[in-house]
Structure 1
Amino acid sequence: MVKENSKYRWVVFSTVLMAYFLIVSQRTAPGLISVQLMNEFQISASLIGILTSAQFFAYAGLQIPIGILSDRFGPNIFLITGTILSGIGTILYSIAPNEYILLLARTMVGVGDATIWINVVLILSQWFKPNEFVRLLGFAGMSGNLGFLLATVPFSAWIALMGWRMPFLTTGIILFLIGILLYIVLVKIPKKTMKDVVRQTSMRIENREKTLNILLRVFSNRQAWATFFCHFGIVGTYVGFIGSWAVPYGMHVYSLTRSEASQLILIGIIGAIIGAPITSWLASRVHSIKRPYAIVHLIVFCCWLAFLFFSGKPPFFMLILLYFFIGCGIGASALTFAIVRGSFAMKEVGVVSGFANTGGFLSAVLLPAIFGKVLDHFQSMDTAVGYQYGFWIPVAFSLAGLIGVFLIKEKEQEIEKGA
């Protein structure tokens, strides 16, 4: 049985997206308890930023190595291991007695998370035909944004009802069990029923290229750097801010409760859920990825600029719109990997995807830590002043993303040919 024509590929698709959905929720869920952690463990805003950055530092640092290894040995083992490791890290986070264990736990989650998206892209590439890939990538992005949605009002309500430890403990256990399910779906069943899975894996292992040659080719490729900066500007600004400072921002600047602040983030998540499939559909309709993606980057840049224009506190109705359109931007970020798929040979898709993803999560590492430093510097002044200066960071980062999207070289009719 051939994978691309089997009905079983939809079982693979559903299981992989379920894992991705839950893992993504744990990127931003800790942001719901930033203030609570500061009070319980008597730690500063800077240390909260470091806790957030630790996860994304591990994520960003492993993207290229994971990409190389996944291209070489296949995506299944890394997706399974990463999901289990994310579960163990989340369990450890839930029982942490001090800030050092919190830091270790977030680092473990970051290492596990580092394996996920690259291998989701590779698995979809292996199990689905090229003309299905762009549309399904949009749905994969939407599942991740549903994970962000879980980490807003539902998770906030769960925390309010049971405290913060039980929700994280339960989530960690579920992730561990999903890792076991992935082994059954991706390895055990296909090994018995689909001979081409084993044959393709063997061919991939036999035809190895020197790692240094691969890296030199990627680092000297303009298209690879373009995707790096696209993700740096559009992903890191959203994930870095939402995952650490969005809830405290709503509480301190707009005097919202934690629940109300998380509901505000919900607006951005709705934008992301809508943005993922719509931008993928639009790219297919206009037979271009670059044109709709450039518009998205321009909108995101203008949204962050608006925070500066209103001195860190735009009118509340405008804040809702800004969150929505920034959310649409993160939803559209799956187009980065459609560009990768259309520009590089299949044997390089993993490493270039890892390189692009490094950009997004390097940004997510830097933003919370720098933002926390700025807030600490202005802590003796009006709270809004610290946020006002802090917003210079996502403005600068999103400008880098805008430059990146204009550096993309796109082949004519790329989408029609199955990019």
Structure 2
Amino acid sequence: MEKQNSRFRWIVFASVVFTYLLMSSQRTAPGLITDQIMNDFNVSASTIGLLASIQFLVYTGLQIPMGIWADRYGPNLFLIIGALLTGLGTIIYSLGTHESILFIGRILTGTGDATIWVNMVLILGQWFTAKEFVRLIGLAGMTGSLGFLMATVPFSQWISILGWRGAFFSIGILLCLCGILLYFVLVKIPKSKMVNVDKTVQHEKLGHLLQRLISNRQAWALFFCHFGLVGAYVGFIGSWAVPYGMNVYGLTRSGASQLVMMGLIGALLGAPLMSGLSSRLEAIKKPYVVVHIVISLCWTTFLLLKGNPPLSLLFVLFFIIGFCYGASTLTFAVVRKTFPSIESGVISGFANTGGFLSAVLLPGIFGMMLDYYQTDQGHLELGYSYGFVIPVIFSIIGLIGVLNIKEKGVARNQPDV
């Protein structure tokens, strides 16, 4: 039975994206209990900041190695291990009695999380045709945004019922069960049904592969394309959107959180709609260029209006920025279309590194800008005003990257496996 013609591929899709939903929720869920962690463990705000960023640092650092390993040894094993590690890390986090235990838990969670996207892209590429892939990668991206959404009110209610330790422990157990489920769905059942036995492929030496990677213009175009789109959203909305709404507009924390919600709603819609449009047009670059132009104009609007657009426009801008971020899954549709399948993993990892590198850099740079002007409230607003030059620069880098993408001309000289 061929993978891309079997009904079983939809079970694979459902199992993988459900695991992604749970894993992505654990990227931001600890933010719900910041005050409790500070009180229970008597730690400083800087320690909390490091605890929050350590998962993203581990995730970013492992993207290229994960891509290489997935190409060489297959994505199934790493995704199974990733789900188990994320579950184990979440359980350890819930049982922690010292801040060092919390760090171990988050490092394990970040290590597991680093496996999900690259391997999911490869698995979907194996089980679905190229046209199906463009559409489904958008749905997979939407699932990640649903995970972020789940880590707001729903998980907060779960914490209120079980307490923070019980809530995180239960999610950890569920993730471990997902790892077991993935073993049966990705390995055991396909092997018993003899679904499209993978071909043995001769891989080039690691040094040659890395040398060719860093000299490949298409790979760098995708790196910068993802850098400009992901970091400006995750880096700003994930870190500074709520303080920005409170300090500049005088909103309550709940009111400022609605800005984040608008971005999430935009991302939920942007991922499937843009991937569906690209699939219908049978073109990726043209709609993706439009996305990058729009998000650049949005951040430029903040800058031109000195960081203080009218409140009604503010919500619209956050929605559009989130919508454009949702379209970032098109980066991997380009990888699927223009690179041979035996190196899709390392290229996907390289591109994803660009996105999350910017997500790590932007909050810190933006914070340094605010610290420079934070002498009183008036100067703090000035800091936000000048700070928006950073996402403008990042988005322009992304626009340059997408303009340099070649949708045709990079032959897929290896068959899909």
Q: Specify if TM > 0.5.
A: yes
Structure 2 residue 395 is matched with structure 1 residue 398: yes
Q: Contact between 2:335 and 2:347, CA under 8 Å: does it hold in 1?
A: yes
TM-aligned CA deviation for residue 333 of structure 1: 0.6
TM-aligned CA deviation for residue 379 of structure 1: 4.4
1:191-211 alpha-carbon deviations (Å, 9 max, x no partner): 2112533xx16x14xx22211
CA distance in 2, matches of 1:95, 1:148: 23
Structure 2 residue 117 is matched with structure 1 residue 117: yes
List gaps (5 residues or longer) in structure 1.
none
For 2:362, which of 367, 370, 376 is the aligned residue? 367
CA, structure 1 residues 254+39, in 2 after alignment: closer, same or farther (shift >3 Å)? farther
- Between 1:304-313 and 1:285-294, the stretch displaced more is 304-313
Structure 2 residue 170 is matched with structure 1 residue 141: no
Structure 2 residue 354 is matched with structure 1 residue 336: no
SS at match of 2:239: coil
Q: Contact between 1:371 and 1:393, CA under 8 Å: does it hold in 2?
A: yes
1:163-242 equivalent positions in 2, closer than 5 A: 164-194=164-194, 196-197=196-197, 200=198, 203-204=200-201, 207-242=202-237
Aligned length: 410
For 2:274, which of 268, 272, 279 is the aligned residue? 279
CA distance in 1, matches of 2:38, 2:239: 12
CA distance in 2, matches of 1:134, 1:350: 16
CA distance in 2, matches of 1:161, 1:379: 39
TM-aligned CA deviation for residue 259 of structure 1: 4.0
1:344-367 alpha-carbon deviations (Å, 9 max, x no partner): 111111110010001011111212
TM-aligned CA deviation for residue 58 of structure 1: 1.0
TM-aligned CA deviation for residue 337 of structure 1: 0.6
Structure 2 residue 352 is matched with structure 1 residue 357: yes
Q: Contact between 2:3 and 2:195, CA under 8 Å: does it hold in 1?
A: no
List gaps (5 residues or longer) in structure 2.
none
1:31-61 alpha-carbon deviations (Å, 9 max, x no partner): 44556656664523x5544333321111111
Q: Contact between 1:52 and 1:244, CA under 8 Å: does it hold in 2?
A: no
- TM-score calculated relative to the size of structure 1: 0.89
CA distance in 1, matches of 2:236, 2:160: 22
Q: Which amino acid aligns with 1:23?
A: M
1:2-401 equivalent positions in 2, closer than 5 A: 2-34=2-34, 41-44=42-45, 46-159=46-159, 164-194=164-194, 196-197=196-197, 200=198, 203-204=200-201, 207-382=202-377, 383-401=380-398
CA distance in 2, matches of 1:381, 1:352: 46
- TM-score calculated relative to the size of structure 2: 0.89
CA, structure 1 residues 106+395, in 2 after alignment: closer, same or farther (shift >3 Å)? farther
CA, structure 1 residues 260+321, in 2 after alignment: closer, same or farther (shift >3 Å)? same
CA, structure 1 residues 269+51, in 2 after alignment: closer, same or farther (shift >3 Å)? same
CA distance in 2, matches of 1:48, 1:395: 28
Q: Contact between 2:221 and 2:405, CA under 8 Å: does it hold in 1?
A: yes
Q: CA RMSD in A?
A: 2.7
TM-aligned CA deviation for residue 27 of structure 1: 2.2
